[in-house]
Copies of this chain bind each other. A is one copy, B any other.
Amino acid sequence: MKRRKSPAISARKPPQQKRSERLVADVLEAAVRVLAREGAPRFTTARVAEEAGVSVGSLYQYFPNKEAILFRLQSDEWDQTGALLEGILAESDKPAPDRLRSMVSAFFQSEREEASLRTALEDAAPLYRDAPEVREHRETGMRRLLRFMNEALPEVSASERSFAAAFVMTTISAVGKSVSAEARSKSETDAWALAMGDMLCAYLQRLVQRKREQR
């Protein structure tokens, strides 16, 4: 596919006054509602502005374009979830497998709770996906997981650990999306999280065993 322009996506200016902060917050909340209610294809700046009770002009004073709003939504979400998951992975008093399971469960539930928003954001991904800012988020996430992996798989070589981290991250995040897309109930989501936890622990354990057998 031809690479298409991916225009600036970062916030146009940092809201400096109370008034502006309120406006930015209003816009973002309105965006969430529009996205969830109307879906990605009907997510337009005009609709967001109207929903926010604000003029389009004002909206464009704080977001350089439509993509920026979506990216901001996604970015905020990543930040929140990221912090949550990091907290879980860092509880060093618990055994590593338990932490992994908890993390998966927390992640799946958080995806499920705002399923319609998640799906819509996913649909809108083509609009912000190519921005360089996205990389950073991904890398931050990777660093967090890697820190956990270093602790959980000390015997395994660095390169293998690195691969495992990428593999686990992709798997969790991809399956998480699917779980939210199918909008299952809380208990059903738990079942999925359990299975995923099982599977990942089995995988990590196998990595360790293999290492031991090599000696």
Contacts and interface: CB of A to CB of B under 8 A. Distances in A.
A64 interface: no
Chain A contact patch, size range: 35 or more
Contact of A175 (B36, B125, B171, B200): B171
Contact of A37 (B1, B116, B192): B1
* Residue of A1, A37, A195, A198 with highest tally of chain B CB at under 10 A: A1
B1 A116 contact: yes
A170 interface: yes
Contacts of A36: 1
A83 interface: no
A189 to B, nearest CB: 12
Contacts of A175: 170-171, 174-175
A213 to B, nearest CB: 14
Interface string A174-212: 110111000000000001100110111011011000000
Interface string A41-69: 11000000000000000000000000000
Contact of A171 (B127, B164, B171): B171
A19 interface: no
A67 to B, nearest CB: 11
A215 interface: no
A21 B203 CA distance: 48
3 tightest A-B CB contacts, nearest first: A202-B202, A174-B174, A199-B203
Interface of A: 1-2, 4, 36-42, 116, 119-120, 123, 125-127, 163-164, 167, 170-171, 173-175, 177-179, 191-192, 195-196, 198-200, 202-203, 205-206
15 contacts: A1-B37, A1-B38, A1-B116, A2-B38, A39-B126, A40-B126, A167-B192, A167-B195, A167-B196, A170-B179, A171-B199, A174-B174, A198-B206, A199-B199, A199-B200
